[in-house]
Amino acid sequence: MWRRPFPWFIVAAALVYALYPYFTDDVGLRESLLLAAVYIILASNLNLMIGYAGYVNFGNIVFFGLGGYICLYLVTALHWHVIPAALTGGVAVSALALLFGLGILRLRGAFFALATIGVNQAIQQLVVNFEPWGGATGIYLSLDAYGPLGGPMQALWRTYLMIVAVTAASLLASYAIRHSKFGLGLLAIGQNEDAASVLGVPTPRYKAMVYSASAFLPAIAGGLYFFKSGIIEPSSAFNLQTSIEAIVMVMLGGSGTILGPALGAFLYEELRGFLLTAQSFSQFQLVIAGALLLLIVQFVPGGLLGWVHQRWPRTRRWLE
Amino acid sequence: MSALLEVNNISKRFGGLQAVDRLSLTVNEGEILGLIGPNGAGKSTVFNLINGVYPPDGGSIVFAGQDITGGPPYRVARQGIARAHQIVQPLGGLSVLDNCTVGACFGRQGLGLVPARKVAREVVDMIGLGDRPDMLAASLTTAGKKRLELARALSARPRLLLLDEVLAGLNPTETGGMIETVHKIRDSGVAILMIEHIMRAVMSLSDRIVVLNLGSKLAEGSPQQVADNPDVITAYLGDSKLLSVAEKPA
């Protein structure tokens, strides 16, 4: 993997992304880049499902929310350090996804999509009624929780760096999977699941594995993000709207490509930031997102990068 | 010759239709067995039962000494049975070479990505797609897609190949080329079970032929024996007595 230039390019880009706001000491820029990084993580991992295996997961945000809850619970109730807490969240959510995946991935197409929404809503309702996690009010962090990271100010910078590291890991994972036997099997499933099975691809196992893999890093990101926010509540943790926005990001940038979803997420975040500041219309970005999705599906199903690859086939060699 | 595939008394019913009715057949190592019969006789269903797309309602399927009854298809593929579909099933968004690499990765040998690509390359050359390995499968011609089905199945390095009408829809030149290819495959030691409607081809290629009608076996034997069997003639052309009556002036 490390003999190709692409992974090094990812690492270099992540370093610039991480250090630029640090050295310019621009807190506003950091906050905006942090949100973009979270979106890149969500979109990039969702792409493993949509772009590689061809399964649209509408409830992808459940991984993020559940990871956040587990991390914050461990930090507040058991006084864990945030890093092991977030990692534990990742492992636990990933294991849970593996179990769920073996069940709901028997469904296909629209039925699978509906089931994923069901999973998100069911977990949200469970959490609302789960007192140890604060029920409907959620979990708050006291300022003491930031002590181990050198106080609140330092903690914000450090969680930013950690989230960028998770972003880089997401892209590297996308790359590694794309260039593995596992990835080839997933692509075959995405193209024609029945044919893939006849060719010998163990479809149930691979689908459950990719569902589980696509849960791991978003769950860690959820832990870090809500740790940074200092508060988690069911409505923000399991926000179906963010799930759907993540699908738009994947489609916008180019599903099935490695950099496409990241590009789509970054552009979408910029657009969102711009539209949110326009006060005349609340949630105007959703109108744009809907229109965008229609246009993409109709005219450029490959998204931005898909279009570039089609127009200049040579770029595929460099960017994939 | 020893038996590679033994199908014992398998049946399959779809609602009110008995698609396959207590059928038994055997494919020996290194032979080509032709499976023929009128439309709707249940030939493709037999393939679906053998490679595990559907479980049979009854009976058993034994391949190379292992019971493979009821699939699932990916496990059957792993045992060494590969299939070329009647209705081509290309992985359209992947290149010709990647399609075959999937076959090599997940077939009998279960190769890693790098050796699989090498095998795929060899097979693509042998099947006559060597001039366009990077082409997307979706943009191949019909003949090209038929060849791809075959190439992908062969990349798995199977012991038994199920060929479902690989000649259908090809022009005479393409048919000739494909027949030659099937000969080459048999000579490399792979046993073949083939469904075919083009009689000239199936008669010349097959070592033995099984005739299926309404889901059960009507006749079995060498191509000549089958062609001379009055029951077979009746199934294909209608009642032979009626034919001879019609020919005689009243």
- B30 and B127 both lie in a single domain: no
Interchain CB distance below 8 Å, A200 and B53: no
Pairwise CA distance, residues A54 & A40, whole Å: 19
Contacts of A200 in chain B (CB under 8 A): 73-74, 77-78, 103, 105-107, 110, 156
A112 within domain boundaries? yes
- B96 and B166 both lie in a single domain: no
Pairwise CA distance, residues A253 & A129, whole Å: 38
Pairwise CA distance, residues A138 & A232, whole Å: 5
Q: What is the pLDDT of residue A278?
A: 64
- B136 and B207 both lie in a single domain: no
A261 within domain boundaries? no
Amino acid identity of B159?
Answer: R
Amino acid identity of B246?
Answer: A
Asked whether the predicted pLDDT for residue A102 surpasses 50, the reply is yes
B128: buried, middle or exposed (CB in 10 Å: 19+, 13-18, 0-12)? middle
Provide the shortest C-alpha distance from residue A201 to chain B (in Å). 6
| Residue of B51, B68, B74 to mutate for A, most A C-beta atoms under 10 A | B74
- B103 and B208 both lie in a single domain: no
* Packing angle of the helix pair A27-47, A151-178 (nearest 10 deg): 30
pLDDT band at A282 (very low <50, low <70, confident <90, very high): low
For B10, the domain range is: 3-80+159-247
- B136 and B13 both lie in a single domain: no
A207 within domain boundaries? yes
**Closest Cβ–Cβ partner in B94, B101, B106 for A191:** B94
Distances (CA, A) of A180 to B72, B112, B222: 24, 9, 47
Domain boundary among B138, B157, B176: B157
Contacts of A256 in chain B (CB under 8 A): 93
Domain boundary among B123, B157, B191: B157
Compare A144 and A255 and report the one with higher pLDDT: A255
pLDDT band at A107 (very low <50, low <70, confident <90, very high): confident
Provide the shortest C-alpha distance from residue A197 to chain B (in Å). 5
3 state SS of B13: strand
A283 within domain boundaries? no
Q: Which residue of chain B is at minimal alpha-carbon distance from A184?
A: B102
A257 within domain boundaries? no
Provide the shortest C-alpha distance from residue B170 to chain A (in Å). 22
Asked whether the predicted pLDDT for residue A237 surpasses 80, the reply is yes
Assigned token pair, A208: 């459950």
Q: Are A145 and A18 in contact (CB under 8 A)?
A: no
Closest residue by Cα to residue B76 from A111, A201, A148? A201
- Which DSSP state fits B67? E
Interchain CB distance below 8 Å, A181 and B72: no
A306 within domain boundaries? no
Domain boundary among B135, B157, B179: B157
- B74 and B165 both lie in a single domain: yes
Contacts of A194 in chain B (CB under 8 A): 53, 73, 89
Share of chain B above pLDDT 90, in %: 47
Asked whether the predicted pLDDT for residue A286 surpasses 90, the reply is no
| Residue of A4, A182, A197, A199 to mutate for B, most B C-beta atoms under 10 A | A199
Q: What is the pLDDT of residues B56-105, one digit of tens each?
A: 999 999 999 999 998 799 999 999 999 998 888 889 889 999 999 999 99
Compare A294 and B71 and report the one with higher pLDDT: A294
**Closest Cβ–Cβ partner in A179, A180, A203 for B74:** A203
HSE of B114, CA atoms in CB hemisphere, 13 A:
0
Mean of pLDDT over chain A:
91
Pairwise CA distance, residues B91 & A199, whole Å: 11
Arithmetic mean of pLDDT, A157-171: 96
Cβ contacts of residue A244 below 8 Å, gap of 6+?
A58, A289
**Closest Cβ–Cβ partner in B107, B113, B156 for A181:** B113
Q: Phi/psi class of residue A153: alpha, beta or left (left: φ > 0; alpha: ψ in -120 to 50)?
A: alpha
A143 within domain boundaries? yes
Q: What is the pLDDT of residue B245?
A: 53
Q: Which residue of chain A is at minimal alpha-carbon distance from B134?
A: A313
Assigned token pair, B202: 């199936």
**Closest Cβ–Cβ partner in A181, A192, A198 for B105:** A181
Q: Which residue of chain A is at minimal alpha-carbon distance from B51?
A: A198
Interchain CB distance below 8 Å, B113 and A200: no
- B15 and B53 both lie in a single domain: yes
Q: Are A200 and B74 in contact (CB under 8 A)?
A: yes
Cβ contacts of residue A301 below 8 Å, gap of 6+?
none
Q: Which residue of chain A is at minimal alpha-carbon distance from B79?
A: A200
Q: Which residue of chain B is at minimal alpha-carbon distance from A302?
A: B93
Cα A105 to the center of its chain, rounded Å: 19
Task: Please give the tally of structural domains in chain A.
Answer: 1
**Closest Cβ–Cβ partner in A179, A184, A199 for B77:** A199
Share of chain A above pLDDT 90, in %: 67
Arithmetic mean of pLDDT, A158-170: 96
3 state SS of B24: strand
Asked whether the predicted pLDDT for residue A239 surpasses 70, the reply is yes
Q: What is the pLDDT of residues A205-230, one digit of tens each?
A: 999 999 999 999 999 999 999 999 99
pLDDT means over runs of 10, chain B (250 residues): 88 90 92 89 91 92 92 92 89 91 92 93 89 89 89 93 87 85 89 89 90 89 88 75 53
Q: What is the pLDDT of residue A207?
A: 94
Interchain CB distance below 8 Å, A184 and B101: yes
Interchain CB distance below 8 Å, B103 and A200: yes
Stated pTM of the model: 0.89
**Closest Cβ–Cβ partner in B53, B102, B107 for A188:** B102
pLDDT band at A195 (very low <50, low <70, confident <90, very high): very high
Q: Are B159 and B136 in contact (CB under 8 A)?
A: no
What is the CATH classification number for the domain harbouring B48?
A: 3.40.50.300
- B173 and B243 both lie in a single domain: yes
Q: What is the pLDDT of residue B250?
A: 45
Count of positions (residues) in chain A? 320
Contacts of A202 in chain B (CB under 8 A): 74-75, 106
**Closest Cβ–Cβ partner in B72, B82, B90 for A197:** B72
Can you give B187-247 as a three-state secondary structure string?
Answer: HCCCEEEEECCCHHHHHHHCCEEEEEECCEEEEEECHHHHHHCHHHHHHHHCCHHHHHHHH
Task: Please give the tally of structural domains in chain B.
Answer: 2
For A129, the domain range is: 5-239
Pairwise CA distance, residues A160 & A106, whole Å: 38
